[in-house]
Chain A
Amino acid sequence: MPTYNSTKCKKSARIERIKEHIFANMPQIEADRAVLLTQSYMQTEGEPIVTRRAKAFKNILENIPVTIRPDELVVGSATVKPRSCQVFPEFTFDWLEAEFDTVEKRSADPFYISEDTKNTLRTVYKYWKGKTTSELATSLIAPEARLAMKHNIFTPGNYFYNGVGHVTVQYDKVLAIGYLGIIEEVKAEIATMDFGDENYITKKTLLDAIIMSCEAVITYAGRYSALAKEMANKEQNSVRRAELLQIAENCARVPANGAKTFYEACQSFWFVQMLLQTESSGHSISPGRFDQYMYPYYKADIDAGRITRDFAQELMDCIWIKFNDLNKCRDAASAEGFAGYSLFQNLIAGGQNREGLDATNDLSFMCIDATMHVLLPAPSFSVRIWNKTPHEFIIRAAELTRTGVGLPAYYNDEVIIPSLMSRGLTLEDARDYNIIGCVEPQVAGKTWGWHDAAFFNMLKPMELVFSNGVFEGEQVGVKTGDVASFKSYDEFFDAYKAQMNYCISLLVNADNAIDVAHAELCPLPYLSSMLDDCIKRGKTPEQGGCVYNFTGPQGFGIANVADALYAIKTLVFEQKKFTLSELRDALANNFGNGSANAEKITEQIALELSRKGVNVTSEIIAKIYSEIKSTNTSARYAEIQQMILDAPKYGNDIDEVDVIAREAAYTYTKPMLNYKNPRGGLFQAGLYPVSANVPLGAQTGATPDGRFAYTPVADGVSPTAGRDVNGPTSSANSVSRLDHGIASNGTLFNMKFHPSALAGDSGLENFAALVQTYFEMKGSHMQFNVVSRETLRDAQKYPEKYKSLVVRVAGYSALFTTLSKSLQDDIINRTEQSAF
């Protein structure tokens, strides 16, 4: 007999009302945080950096506006207006200043910004010149690595421009003992210290900063309690008045104290979740195993008859909407790469516990239902699947998939646990993993994983092979010799590996420079209060305070590299259909398609240049256009492309190609194992692009897999869109031939389904069987879009009709209508795996 109650709870009418309120208007940029932060920084010049960070945090929490939105049961809003965002000038600011006048109109993730806010921010920014993490990082990165970045071989953009985030803290600790308890713990630690300890000064400074941060959070919650009381006094509706009084009581008790009820636990959780995103701009602050650490509070309330399941569900639904109330404004280029206003707050249900027993409980099912009730992109909802997962749980997850919300993502315990152990986690910690952000596994409360360290375009080193390491006259890669002189496939592959190895070393250099910059300028004392072993070590996570330290940069384009290598191996060297020299010319001339798409290509190049800050004049545009127009259109180039396109492709269950794909992935994942970060942790590769495959593809020339210049690169470990023509099982068979275990920062396999494939009970059963079979074959992650092409095309034409249409884009869900046109096209073009 199951030990859980899986009965579905009803959805309260409140949920739609809150949802409507949150989505009524365009998100906007607010300046309060930036002003308060800067104010404090100006007063603390010369003090230790952790102290300055804590004082700034305190100043923010004591003075930033507090807002309770209509109908809310769980409160805490980072901004006055719903779904809006604060600004974090300590990481970078010049991009926003440059985009003040375009941020409202841009295609991906637009934000409204008032003239007042612009002026306020302009004043604030004067202080930050020369003081940001990105400026320091820039000065630390080796010139060779900067050159590689300039040529778009990789982008470490996320942490280069923003806070790090990508963490799951000890929610359980805050729920159990509150910040007063944590302050006690810190004081006890101070009591053990000796004035003569070699780290006394730095440790004491940090511990004091932690205490100050925790106290600031308690003050902040107190302000909500007071506000709720004040609103209750004015409230005419007696039901709402009672709710507000309850909110006032909750906020007076938590997160200062340990939670006594499930409701208090929900409120306490939310303050932690929200305030981590006020301290720093790092995204992917992932709630992790919500169904596990919340369960004791739920169970105690249910057993004592203090709560109904319906009310517990309503509270969870409220939190689910709150995840969508938080927002972040990124620069235009990053917004394309992370499109969908997503903060990647990954919440996971199911799986096994630390002892290796199945951990599915009532809340695991209620997490699925909450996602079903709100049908919004946040949280990024995931489920853990293993050999003992209850069948009912998988079927309920499949039902959620069938709604087309793009959730949940499915993760395989049987691959991820051993994979994490191979990176030094204990068996118990590995079993307790959750997912950060898109697909990155780690253990909560003790990991500083730097999971989103960079995106590495695996096609660029291949371009370098053809150009002997030169881009636009600059020696960017290593000299591997004239490609036309290569006598064998092995010689070509060795050259590719040499370019890869060199580029990877540059990526590591850039990441480590940024790592140092964060430790230097933006250590986070509040975060340190909830991660082991920061208190004992007296170090923040950035300084190496955590038990587990990683750097996880992502490679993408495996499908393209595999198809390219296979084409070269068979067509050039085995069948001698054309030479490498001919292929080089065909690539340089975009397979003779240069003139046909001249206008489109010119537009793309101009867009890229303007993004990089180049003033694109009409003369420049004319010059680019004429160059492209004059490109050679020899029929031989098109013939070469056709031969390549006709060759077997990755994603069709063809052994010979898939073996090459496995080798292609190794060219990225294996060299990464040789590197360490400044915190003493390992580099570990991931294989997924979020949606960077589209903007970075727009900066990549034609490739030997037959791909035209500037078109998207394949995402994650998925086959190239449209080239897997034998259905989902063949696709999955191919993908499962890669080594997923070595990519311990996560792999991403995206599959799109027409709803008919999941129709009826048998549709759900077969879908579940597909996921489980892929997992039996040692795949590690799977996610699905269940939509029709027609729906998506219609949504492109009539976005207003589809405002809440959610699509999962490489690793997360996004509102389709908020995605850029190019990304929408990419989604539509993905092979539709339908079965009638």
Chain B
Amino acid sequence: MDNNSVVGRIFDIQKFSTHDGPGIRTIVFLKGCILRCRWCCNPESQSYVIQRMKTKDGTKVVGYDTTVGEVMKKILQDMPYYRRSGGGLTLSGGEALCQTEFVKALLSECKKNGINTAVETTACLPWEMIEPVLPFLDNVLMDIKHTDGAKHEAFCGLRNELILQNARRIAESGANLTIRVPVIPTFNDSEEEIRSIAKFAAGLRGVKEIHLLPYHRLGYDKYVGLDREYKMGDITPPSKEKMEHLRRIAESEGLTAIIGG
């Protein structure tokens, strides 16, 4: 089957993304996720089903089926920016790697056109679904939210053993792996928790960078729009000082730590 006619389900394409891999990037957001993280700022991404979401300007349909060819047209529009900045495509979601065939076809078209590729992944899925796309990825940005399985399950819906195991496998495969940590007050924002994640990351082969992404409330309206409860309540984002403190702790484990990616 021709790559360009492979169908996938996405819910957004965002240009000029600057905090999701190197350079100026286009993010393709894929529908469907395995985890149910309480703080998720894209709750409309979680279900694979096409949904309706209320917004200030009416009801919006979230999710549509499209082909690799259609998506490539959009991606190619910003080619001059990728070239100048070292940017390219970033797959996000949802969990992008759930749609293995679509992702593989899309990434392989990107490579054909000389476009740098990245994925933002939970890596919380069978190794058989991850391994085949690795050869097409220039950057893997993988979340490690917690090192404690029980706490992970309490906040994200599933335990983390598979995630940690996949992290090691991805690292061993020689992929260019960066670890990202959403810093969530009440969940993982203590010194010990961040240190523990950083220690694990530092132990992964080839991993040099860790990104600390401060919690934000920008997804709140979407929970309302989806008639869902916002379980984070009125928890406020961590302060700049706090983030800087955690950054230094992560650095002390021998990594380059960046706030905000």
In the complex, A757→B14 CA distance in Å?
14
In the complex, which range does the number of interface residues on chain B fall in? 20 to 34
CB distance from A385 to the nearest CB of B (A): 12
A769 located at the interface, meaning its Cβ lies under 8 Å from any Cβ of chain B in the complex: yes
Known contacts: A759-B260, A766-B24. The answer to whether A835 contacts B19 by CB under 8 A is yes
- Let me know if B19 and A729 touch, CB within 8 A: no
Which one of A438-446, A665-673, A771-779 is at the interface? A771-779
Selected contact of B19 from candidates A653, A728, A762, A773, CB within 8 Å: A762
Interface residues of chain A: helix, strand, loop or mixed (majority): helix
Known contacts: A760-B260, A770-B16. The answer to whether A730 contacts B77 by CB under 8 A is yes
Known contacts: A769-B84, A770-B81, A773-B80. The answer to whether A833 contacts B258 by CB under 8 A is no
- Let me know if B260 and A766 touch, CB within 8 A: no
CB distance from B128 to the nearest CB of A (A): 33
Selected contact of B84 from candidates A653, A727, A776, CB within 8 Å: A776
Selected contact of B85 from candidates A733, A769, A836, CB within 8 Å: A769
- Let me know if A777 and B23 touch, CB within 8 A: no
- Let me know if B16 and A773 touch, CB within 8 A: no
- Let me know if A653 and B77 touch, CB within 8 A: yes
A233 located at the interface, meaning its Cβ lies under 8 Å from any Cβ of chain B in the complex: no
A765 located at the interface, meaning its Cβ lies under 8 Å from any Cβ of chain B in the complex: yes
Contacts of A730 in B (CB 8 A): 15, 77-78
Contacts of B17 in A (CB 8 A): 835
A418 located at the interface, meaning its Cβ lies under 8 Å from any Cβ of chain B in the complex: no
In the complex, A308→B165 CA distance in Å?
60
Contacts of A5 in B (CB 8 A): none
Selected contact of A766 from candidates B18, B78, B258, CB within 8 Å: B18
- Let me know if A769 and B19 touch, CB within 8 A: no
Residue of B nearest to A836 (CB): B218
A610 located at the interface, meaning its Cβ lies under 8 Å from any Cβ of chain B in the complex: no
- Let me know if B216 and A835 touch, CB within 8 A: no
Contacts of A626 in B (CB 8 A): none
A763 located at the interface, meaning its Cβ lies under 8 Å from any Cβ of chain B in the complex: yes
Contacts of B80 in A (CB 8 A): 773, 776-777
Contacts of A766 in B (CB 8 A): 18, 23-24, 85, 87
Q: Which of B18, B24, B78, B260 has the most CB of A within 10 A?
A: B18
- Let me know if B18 and A726 touch, CB within 8 A: no
Selected contact of B81 from candidates A726, A729, A759, A763, CB within 8 Å: A729
- Let me know if B84 and A772 touch, CB within 8 A: yes
CB distance from A761 to the nearest CB of B (A): 9
In the complex, A333→B42 CA distance in Å?
48
Contacts of A727 in B (CB 8 A): 14-16
Residue of B nearest to A655 (CB): B77
Contact with B along A794-836 (1 / 0, CB 8 A): 0000000000000000000000000000000000000001011
In the complex, A762→B22 CA distance in Å?
8
- Let me know if B16 and A762 touch, CB within 8 A: no
In the complex, A729→B78 CA distance in Å?
7
In the complex, A92→B18 CA distance in Å?
52
CB distance from B75 to the nearest CB of A (A): 11
Contacts of B22 in A (CB 8 A): 762
| Residues B75-128 near A (CB distance < 8 A) | 77-78, 80-81, 83-85, 87
In the complex, A40→B83 CA distance in Å?
64
- Let me know if A833 and B16 touch, CB within 8 A: yes
| Residues B51-82 near A (CB distance < 8 A) | 77-78, 80-81
In the complex, A727→B85 CA distance in Å?
16
| Residues A709-766 near B (CB distance < 8 A) | 726-730, 733, 757, 759-760, 762-763, 765-766
Question: For chains A and B in complex, what number of residue pairs have CB atoms within 8 angstroms?
Answer: 65
CB distance from A254 to the nearest CB of B (A): 45
Contacts of A729 in B (CB 8 A): 15-16, 24, 77-78, 81
In the complex, A324→B85 CA distance in Å?
37
CB distance from B240 to the nearest CB of A (A): 11
Contacts of A769 in B (CB 8 A): 23-24, 81, 84-85, 87
Selected contact of B77 from candidates A733, A757, A833, CB within 8 Å: A733
- Let me know if B15 and A765 touch, CB within 8 A: no
In the complex, A777→B81 CA distance in Å?
10
In the complex, A653→B80 CA distance in Å?
13
In the complex, A635→B87 CA distance in Å?
48
CB distance from A330 to the nearest CB of B (A): 38
In the complex, A726→B75 CA distance in Å?
12
In the complex, A836→B20 CA distance in Å?
10
Selected contact of A762 from candidates B15, B18, B77, B216, CB within 8 Å: B18
Contacts of A777 in B (CB 8 A): 80
In the complex, A618→B218 CA distance in Å?
49
- Let me know if A773 and B85 touch, CB within 8 A: yes
Residue of B nearest to A777 (CB): B80
- Let me know if B85 and A765 touch, CB within 8 A: yes
In the complex, A757→B24 CA distance in Å?
11
Residue of A nearest to B15 (CB): A727
In the complex, A101→B172 CA distance in Å?
79
Q: Which of B23, B24, B216 has the most CB of A within 10 A?
A: B24
CB distance from A776 to the nearest CB of B (A): 6
- Let me know if A760 and B258 touch, CB within 8 A: yes
Residue of B nearest to A759 (CB): B260
Q: Which of B14, B77, B83 has the most CB of A within 10 A?
A: B77
In the complex, A757→B81 CA distance in Å?
15
Residue of B nearest to A761 (CB): B258
CB distance from A671 to the nearest CB of B (A): 32
Contacts of A760 in B (CB 8 A): 258-260
Residue of A nearest to B22 (CB): A762
In the complex, A385→B22 CA distance in Å?
23
Known contacts: A653-B77, A733-B77, A836-B216. The answer to whether A763 contacts B84 by CB under 8 A is no
In the complex, A227→B24 CA distance in Å?
57
Residue of B nearest to A771 (CB): B84
Contact with A along B124-160 (1 / 0, CB 8 A): 0000000000000000000000000000000000000
| Residues A182-210 near B (CB distance < 8 A) | none
Residue of B nearest to A728 (CB): B16
CB distance from A552 to the nearest CB of B (A): 30
CB distance from B111 to the nearest CB of A (A): 21
Contacts of A759 in B (CB 8 A): 19, 260
CB distance from A829 to the nearest CB of B (A): 15
Contact with A along B180-195 (1 / 0, CB 8 A): 0000000000000000
Contacts of B84 in A (CB 8 A): 769, 772-773, 776
In the complex, A51→B61 CA distance in Å?
75
Residue of A nearest to B80 (CB): A773
Residue of B nearest to A654 (CB): B77
- Let me know if B19 and A726 touch, CB within 8 A: no
Contact with A along B153-181 (1 / 0, CB 8 A): 00000000000000000000000000000
CB distance from A749 to the nearest CB of B (A): 15
- Let me know if B216 and A773 touch, CB within 8 A: no
Residue of B nearest to A766 (CB): B18
With A727-B15, A835-B16 known, 4 other A-B pairs at CB within 8 A are A653-B77, A762-B22, A763-B18, A770-B24
Q: List 21 A-B contacts (CB under 8 A).
A: A726-B15, A727-B16, A728-B15, A730-B78, A733-B78, A760-B258, A760-B260, A762-B19, A762-B22, A769-B23, A769-B84, A772-B84, A773-B24, A776-B80, A776-B84, A835-B14, A835-B16, A835-B19, A836-B19, A836-B216, A836-B218
Sorted nearest first, the 3 A-B pairs with minimum C-beta distance are A769-B85, A727-B15, A727-B16
